[in-house]
A and B are shown apart, each in its own frame.
Chain A
Amino acid sequence: MVNVKKKLLYAKKRINSVEFDAHWYRRVFHTFGASFLFYYMLPDVDWVNLLKTWIPPLILVFVVILEFLRLKGKISSDHFFGLRMYEKHRVGSYVFFGVAILLLFMFFPQPIAVPCILCACIADPVFGEIRQHYNSRYVYLVGFPLCMFFFIIAWYTADVVLMFSAAVIGATGAVVGETKKLWWLDDDFMIQMLPAVLLLILWYIAMYMGFTLPGDVIIPGVM
């Protein structure tokens, strides 16, 4: 009897350690995504621009094919470490994450893309930790100023009114995008795209009204 109890405790401990491990693995994968900002530092030279245009979509195509094979059952979900239970029969959040980053790189100005990527890479795991250890209300209290900080950094060269407007709109979009989860649309996508779309609207309004728009926050390198 004692032996069974011990074995059960041991098994529980082991399962917990795996879950704990997967949990931190996902967090680190998120923060790792901030490295993609190096994209903006690549020199503005013809052949580099060609690589910048083709390599990110090719990587994404590879990831989508991999995910397609997983969902079709050709590749076992067991090979994907840290995948959540609800992602077993749904597109994995890393695909949404990649699609959103690619869209930001391709179609959005740098002052919009950079803070949105930082929100997904840094703020999102912080939100997750807060939600896990404290009340969900604290997500708004801590997450909102953190996201605002990211938007202020990217828009600090713009007019002050525009900078604060962008920070408030962007942070609201990021927090709402992260908290409103849908089964078919992941928060990793929404935390990036919702503030990006809102800020793009603000960008055109500000341009029309004659405000000073922000310059690039990351200056391309020279060769």
Chain B
Amino acid sequence: MRYIEKNTDNQIRLLKTEMLFTPLLVFLPFIVGVIFILDWFNRGFIPGDPRFNGELVIGFIIIIGNLFFDIPFIKSLKKFSQHKK
């Protein structure tokens, strides 16, 4: 797949933008996933309410789904940052 070509000067700026967003892109889904699981635990598991079971599964889907793509993304970002140096 082809992406819009960038000149060398712009690459550094783009990489900085990408790095700026990385904590948000990586950590927010994990936080949301954990909130879902905690909500299931507090309002579903402890009182024994099965209505919250969906939240548990969705929490795991969000965490696993993100983990699956976050690892290669961070690896590629690390590789590219090292490459720039």
Contacts and interface: CB of A to CB of B under 8 A. Distances in A.
Interface of A: 14, 17-25, 27-32, 34-35, 37-38, 41, 77-85, 87-88, 114, 118, 121-122, 125, 132, 150, 153-154, 156-157, 215, 217-219, 221
Nearest to A156: B54
B32 A27 contact: no
A217 B36 CA distance: 11
Contact of A114 (B28, B31, B58): B58
B28 A32 contact: yes
Interface in B1-39: 1-4, 6-7, 10-11, 14, 17-18, 24-26, 28-29, 31-32, 35-36, 39
Contacts of A28: 25-26, 66, 69-70, 73
Interface of B: 1-4, 6-7, 10-11, 14, 17-18, 24-26, 28-29, 31-32, 35-36, 39, 43, 51-52, 54-55, 57-58, 61-62, 65-66, 68-70, 72-73, 76-77, 79-80, 83
A118 B61 CA distance: 9
Contact of A20 (B25, B54, B76): B76
A168 to B, nearest CB: 19
A31 B80 CA distance: 21
A37 to B, nearest CB: 7
